[in-house]
């Protein structure tokens, strides 16, 4: 078959510096981080350029001002002794750059924290990626589900994040020496997608039932680092029996602006080229340049309350025929992957 085509060469602006903002304020008494950088040009192979030496301030609707200090290039951090987000307050981000530009976010309400009425598990089969070769395999495991029942006529939007820590244990006993006992762990994201509520249930319902948070395969082994001693320390990976699993869940209560931003992002990420997929467009953030309205700005200033949970997941002990999910202290590992020798890490569960 013969056809004609007309090449199209779009005009792409490459000279403008576009600020990118990544900021999150919660109700947790922790340092908050605000990342500032300039977007790379379409035709650029350079690394991200941080915005340094800026003045970064968060104000609230009660006249308070909170200064963020630059800890390293483009990363600005708050003092938790001076500033902790208060649910019900409205916060605005202000950025003053060295080139004279002033940026400001839309005022953002920090919602009150909420939590599901129930977490539970249910056996299922899902496609997962093999740890050893990255191939897609069909795995048997547990869906982690949540119910939220509200007595009002509406329910807030929520965003879940989830991670799993696989604990494994082994010993090394040199000849004529004491044995060394290794407490090791590895962390991975249980669900790398944006996990939002309030999308699939009926508008008239005030309840969210059987919301799927993540899936965890019941593989009894993990492909993990094999640590050694002294000159025998290696970066070799091998299969180990999983001693126990810790599931960490964070539930972010979103205001309407944050929910719509994540919803738009989620819709575009899940597009697979079908006719009625959303058109790929630049996401509209809530940051603007007030000194020069013509300057484009990307990113979002999010204010969300967070509730955190930790559970042990046990496939050998069943509850009502399903994998056992038991509450555990919410103590995060100091690093995603690591080991302690002859002592037990603070987060370790048995």
Q: How many domains does the chain have?
A: 2
CA distances from 85 to 23, 30, 32 (A): 13, 10, 10
Residue 183 lies in a domain: yes
pLDDT computed for residue 333 by the predictor: 96
CA atoms within 13 A on the CB side of 238: 11
Tens of pLDDT, residue by residue over 120-163, are 999 999 988 776 677 788 999 999 999 987 655 555 689 999 99
Determine whether 206 is exposed, middle or buried from the number of CB atoms within 10 Å of its CB (0-12, 13-18, 19+): middle
pLDDT computed for residue 283 by the predictor: 76
- CB proximity list for 302: less than 8 A, separation 6 or greater: 23, 24, 25, 108, 254, 258, 261
Looking at the fold, whether 207 and 290 belong to one and the same domain comes out as no
CA distance 280 to 271: 9
Helical ranges in the chain per DSSP H: 256-269
Distance of CA 76 to the CA centre of its chain: 19
- The sign one gets for the Cα dihedral 323, 324, 328, 334 is negative
Looking at the fold, whether 163 and 219 belong to one and the same domain comes out as yes
Closest CA to 258 of 83, 135, 110, 155: 110
Residue 13 lies in a domain: no
pLDDT computed for residue 150 by the predictor: 64
CA distances from 161 to 14, 190, 197, 239, 250 (A): 35, 8, 12, 27, 5
pLDDT computed for residue 201 by the predictor: 43
- CB proximity list for 182: less than 8 A, separation 6 or greater: 169, 170, 171, 172, 227, 339, 340, 341
Looking at the fold, whether 71 and 158 belong to one and the same domain comes out as no
Looking at the fold, whether 200 and 82 belong to one and the same domain comes out as no
Residues spanned by the domain of 72: 19-110+257-303
pLDDT computed for residue 44 by the predictor: 60
Q: List the chain residues with pLDDT less than 50.
A: 201-204, 275-276
Looking at the fold, whether 295 and 323 belong to one and the same domain comes out as no
Looking at the fold, whether 144 and 190 belong to one and the same domain comes out as yes
How many C-beta neighbours within 10 Å does residue 13 have?
9
Residue 7 lies in a domain: no
Contact 165, 245 (CB under 8 A): yes
Per residue in 318-330, is it b (16+ CB within 10 Å) or e — as a string?
eeeeebbbeebee
Closest CA to 169 of 339, 346, 347: 339
Looking at the fold, whether 199 and 275 belong to one and the same domain comes out as no
Residue 12 lies in a domain: no
Looking at the fold, whether 126 and 247 belong to one and the same domain comes out as yes
CA distance 312 to 327: 6
Residue 55 lies in a domain: yes
Residue 14 lies in a domain: no
Looking at the fold, whether 96 and 213 belong to one and the same domain comes out as no
**Residue matched to tokens 């919602």:** 111
- CB proximity list for 9: less than 8 A, separation 6 or greater: none
**The residue count for the chain:** 350
pLDDT computed for residue 327 by the predictor: 95
CA distance 146 to 298: 33
What does the longest C-alpha to C-alpha distance in the chain come to?
81
pLDDT computed for residue 32 by the predictor: 98
Looking at the fold, whether 23 and 84 belong to one and the same domain comes out as yes
Residue 270 lies in a domain: yes
pLDDT computed for residue 15 by the predictor: 55
Quote the radius of gyration of the chain (alpha carbons, Å): 24
Looking at the fold, whether 316 and 206 belong to one and the same domain comes out as yes
Residue 9 lies in a domain: no
Looking at the fold, whether 247 and 318 belong to one and the same domain comes out as yes
pTM over cut 0.95: no
- Measure the CA dihedral 172/176/177/183, to 10°: 20
């Amino acid at each position: 078959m013969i056809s004609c085509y007309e090449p199209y060469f779009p005009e792409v602006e490459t000279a403008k510096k576009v600020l990118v903002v990544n900021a999150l304020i919660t109700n947790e008494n922790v340092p908050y981080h605000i990342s500032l950088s300039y977007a790379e040009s379409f035709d650029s192979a350079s690394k991200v350029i941080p915005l340094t030496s800026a003045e970064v301030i968060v104000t609230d609707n009660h006249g308070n001002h909170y200064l963020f200090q630059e800890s390293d290039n483009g990363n600005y951090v708050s003092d938790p002794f001076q500033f902790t987000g208060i649910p019900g307050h409205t916060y605005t981000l202000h950025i003053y750059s060295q080139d004279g530009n002033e940026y400001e976010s839309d005022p953002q309400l920090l919602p009150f924290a909420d939590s599901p009425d129930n977490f539970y598990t249910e056996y299922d089969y899902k496609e997962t990626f093999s740890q050893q070769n990255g191939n897609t395999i069909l795995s048997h495991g547990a869906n982690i589900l949540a119910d939220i029942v509200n007595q009002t006529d509406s329910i807030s939007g929520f965003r879940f994040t989830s991670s799993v820590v696989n604990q494994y244990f082994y010993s090394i006993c040199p000849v004529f020496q004491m044995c060394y006992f290794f407490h090791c762990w590895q962390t991975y994201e249980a669900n790398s997608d944006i996990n939002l509520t309030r999308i699939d249930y009926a508008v008239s319902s005030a309840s969210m039932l059987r919301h799927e948070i993540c899936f965890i395969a019941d593989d009894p082994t993990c492909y993990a680092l094999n640590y050694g001693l002294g000159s025998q320390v290696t970066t070799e990976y091998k299969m180990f029996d999983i001693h126990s699993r810790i599931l960490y869940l964070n539930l972010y209560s979103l205001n309407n602006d944050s929910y719509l931003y994540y919803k738009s992002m989620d819709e575009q990420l899940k597009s697979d080229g079908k006719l009625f997929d959303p058109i790929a467009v630049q996401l509209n953030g809530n940051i603007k340049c007030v000194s020069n309205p013509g300057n484009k700005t990307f990113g979002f200033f999010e204010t969300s309350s967070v509730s955190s949970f930790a559970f042990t997941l046990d496939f050998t002990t069943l509850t009502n025929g399903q994998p056992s999910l038991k509450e555990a202290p919410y103590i995060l590992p100091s690093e995603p992957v690591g080991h302690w020798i002859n002592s037990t890490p603070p987060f370790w569960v048995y």
